Amino acid sequence: MTSAHIPVHLSSSSVYPENAAYAFDLAQRLGYDGVEIMVWTDPVTQEAGALRALADLHEITIGAIHAPTLLLAQRLWGWEPWGKIERALDLAGEVGAQCVVVHPPFRWQRGYAEGFVEGVADRQARWGIDIAVENMFPWRSGVNAMQAYLPGPDPRDFPYGAVTLDISHAATAGMDPVQMAQDLGERVRHLHLGDSFGSFKDEHLVPGRGSQRCDEVLRHFADHAFSGIVSVEVGTRRMRTPARELALAESLAYARTHLGQHDLPGATLEPTR
């Protein structure tokens, strides 16, 4: 498998507070291969038919469904965590996504956390879709740090069959994303591409605008026959539309460059249409 076959997708969270329809339109205009859908209050992100229609309209694919397991999404799709994951798996199956991205349980979800590793493995086998558990980080305030996730924030410590490697999360945890990529090997099914200066805040900067070795992470996957998807996940909520679109075009060009995809759409920065 060559680097030219590694798809680069746009996470719908990268256009927040704009909606999923805008994410599809922008992904097509900039030259992305597809989108990752963050399930959110936007009803389109929860409806398979609407998502398939947008994918067909814009002639791009849906590579991943991010289950609503974030702190701010605890009430979305009910309070039962496994119900959220199963519903996300059903949605992924209906839209042809290759994986479901999940965060590990919060420490106060002890019952859920106790059987999390086994529960993930069981549902991954039953649905036949990867459940890619994301690396997380401690919550910090000044000199104090709280371990917010159980059974733990580092997927290297657990036998998950599939993992989402998030570069910004690794930086916030004080971990080297290149080393994590090497340690996790083929278990990485999905990459969240975003930069950071390693502060206590989860920054999700445009790749190349922080201090992380995003370029080396991408080259590592290009050199090791990565069979997953690179998904640009950066924060643009405070940007006006022209700046947002430039930032996401820059992110795609960065990914294409360091994956060796110099002849593919979006490999060079051009004015948006």
Within a domain: residue 267?
no
Confidence of residue 147 (pLDDT cuts 50, 70, 90): confident
- Comparing CA positions, the residue from 221, 191, 196, 223 lying closest to residue 208 is 196
Within a domain: residue 271?
no
Q: Over the stretch 89-127, which tens digit does the pLDDT of each residue have?
A: 999 999 999 999 999 999 999 999 999 999 999 999 999
Q: Over the stretch 236-272, which tens digit does the pLDDT of each residue have?
A: 999 999 999 999 999 999 999 999 999 999 999 875 4
Q: Averaged over 3-13, what is the pLDDT? A: 89
Within a domain: residue 118?
yes
What is the per-residue pLDDT for 46? 97
142 Cβ contact list (under 8 Å, min separation 6): none
Answer whether residue 80 shows pLDDT above 80. yes
170 Cβ contact list (under 8 Å, min separation 6): 135, 137, 176, 177, 180, 212
Domain that holds residue 22: 3-259
**Domain CATH for 24:** 3.20.20.150
Q: Averaged over 62-76, what is the pLDDT? A: 88
What is the per-residue pLDDT for 70? 82
- Comparing CA positions, the residue from 266, 193, 196 lying closest to residue 232 is 193
Within a domain: residue 269?
no
∠ at Cα 52 (89, 191), nearest 5°?
55
Sign of CA dihedral 202, 183, 193, 116: negative
Q: Over the stretch 185-239, which tens digit does the pLDDT of each residue have?
A: 999 999 999 999 998 889 999 999 999 999 999 999 999 989 999 999 999 999 9
Within a domain: residue 268?
no
Q: Averaged over 164-180, what is the pLDDT? A: 97
Confidence of residue 143 (pLDDT cuts 50, 70, 90): low
Provide the pairing of β-strand 130-134 with 139-141: unpaired
Q: Over the stretch 83-95, which tens digit does the pLDDT of each residue have?
A: 999 999 999 999 9
Within a domain: residue 192?
yes
- The reported pTM is 0.94
Number of domains in the chain: 1
Q: Averaged over 8-34, what is the pLDDT? A: 98
207 close to 254: Cβ distance less than 8 angstroms = yes
The helix/strand/coil state of 139 is: strand
Confidence of residue 136 (pLDDT cuts 50, 70, 90): very high
Within a domain: residue 61?
yes
